[in-house]
Structure 1
Amino acid sequence: MTTPHKPITAPKMAIRTAVILLVFVTLFTGLLSAAYLWTRPALAAAAREEQMRLIDEVLPRSRYDNALLEDSIVLDNGLTAYRARKDGKAVALVVEAVAPDGYAGKIRLLLAVAPGGTLFGVRVTEHKETPGLGDYIEPKKDKNKTHPWITQFDGTNPAEIDAQEWRVKKDGGRFDSMAGATVTPRAVIKAVRKAVLEVVAHRDDLFAAARKEGQP
């Protein structure tokens, strides 16, 4: 004579379901963690490669011989600056900057500045300006492929140029701009000047040799 099976009660069913879910979540979390650990070196390498790609646009690698990404300093505004050296001598500071007053919000920049203030190059790394108008601040979107707008900064030194001249031509300055889209270049021009003047004013501290681990 067979013994009838006892029905599974609601509390037991709930406990069994909870255990199954716990095992599933644990396994899933473990797989995600393993995948992250497996791909982390590749992701880090890709991020470094992208950083260097941007830096290469403002400062050729032939101008320095140190490990640029490892010789950096975080500025008071939270942005990062990378110190370029050649034979131990400071040759440039690659510095991040932000123009807060773009037409559609913040415009993020990358500049390479010599200790004396001369600009090697400037690039826009992020913006939300109006497509077809303000986006000419990017070389890849600028219709002038021979002399993109952003290259007007190359070789200039805001520390040696009067502030009145460091403006768009519409305002009496030296920089070209597109008709009907002057807010964007005004913001970039002002931010570039501010960043360079700060580098020049604090260059001794900014270019100081990085402290080695264990040093006070």
Structure 2
Amino acid sequence: MSEQEQSTQPLGAGRSVVRNSLILGLFAMATVGLIAVTQISTAPRIAEEQRRVQMSALNEILPHDQHDNDLLADGFEVSDRELLNLPRPTMAYRGRVENEVVAVILPVVAPDGYSGRIDLLVGVRANGELAGVRALNHRETPGLGDKIELAKSDWVLSFNGKSLQVPAPTGWAVRKDGGEFDQFTGATITPRAVIQAVYRALEYFAAHRQQLLELPDASTMNEDSIDG
């Protein structure tokens, strides 16, 4: 090999590395751009689906014949890490009849589900009784833990009418632990987590009852918030 050939070989290799790096960089930029466009285009549909699921859950907890207001329009933020386990301020809702608050629907997180956190909505009537409970989001095992969904089981209806007094505190557990609630066959962790989360929501309501049921002034209706 001549001295000239030896001197040009490294130069050619360097150009090849630069060219390949540029190609990879352009490919990465195109991929990121495609992902961004996809997220932007699907975000409205995802938000609308989340709104639909939430609205369905709200109306199942407090049917139309039990309130005369727009639940979504009567929302307010709650912020509580101790009882509701909320990582950030989250919307709660008031149900009214002739402008009197008859129930409050609270968000609560069960952090200790079998497969992680379970997001719940818990409806509490003004007298402290449960109007209903619904699971919004979870990753529990299909066929086992997912029985917290009304579509899979009527287990969640067993909360209706319960309160801090009924059953007694010791009754707020699965039967395996001496409580009054059924566990699932092959799945005890999930119902145990949900039961405790619902009980904590009732404790939160009792601690903030007056504030939750009071009517905000019209000027602050859309700025209403409650700190735990």
Partner of 2:123: 112
Moved more, 206-215 or 172-181: 206-215
Consecutive unaligned residues of structure 1, counting only runs of 5 or more, are 1-31, 143-147
From the superposition, tell whether residues 162 and 88 of structure 1 become closer, same or farther in structure 2 (CA, over 3 Å): same
Cα RMSD between the aligned structures? 2.6
1:67 is paired with a residue whose SS is coil
Matched, 1:92 2:103: yes
Residue 153 of structure 1 corresponds to 159
Residue type matched to 2:145 in 1?
A: G
Matched, 1:179 2:182: no
**Paired residues of 2:53 and 2:136 also in contact (CA < 8 A):** no
Contact 1:167–1:174 (8 Å) recurs in 2 = yes
In 2 relative to 1, CA 185–50 (structure 1 residues): closer, same or farther, beyond 3 Å? closer
Q: Which of residues 127, 137, 152 in structure 2 aligns to 1:141? A: 152
Of 29, 54, 57 in structure 2, the residue corresponding to residue 54 of structure 1 is 57
Q: Which has the higher contact order (CA 8 A, sep 6+)?
A: 2
Rate the CA distance shift 1:176–1:45 in 2: closer, same or farther, 3 A. closer
1:213 partner SS: helix
- TM-superposed deviation, 1:157: 1.2
Cα offset, 1:52, TM superposition: 1.8
Question: Contact 2:58/2:71 (CA < 8 Å) preserved in 1?
Answer: no
Question: CA offset at residue 153 of structure 1?
Answer: 0.5
Larger proportion of helix: 2
Residue equivalent to 1:75:
78
Residue identity opposite 2:204 in structure 1: E
- Structure 2: 5+ residue stretches without partners: 1-36, 81-88, 224-228
Is the contact made by 1:79 and 1:97 (CA closer than 8 Å) also made in structure 2? no
Name the residue aligned to 1:6.
none
User: 2:62·2:95 contact (CA, 8 Å) conserved in 1?
Assistant: no
* Residue number in structure 2 paired with 1:7: none
Q: CA deviation at 1:115?
A: 1.8
**TM-superposition CA deviations, 1:151-184 (whole Å, max 9, x none):** 1101111344321111101111100112331100
Instruction: Tell me if the contact between 1:116 and 1:200 (Cα under 8 Å) persists in the aligned partners.
Output: no
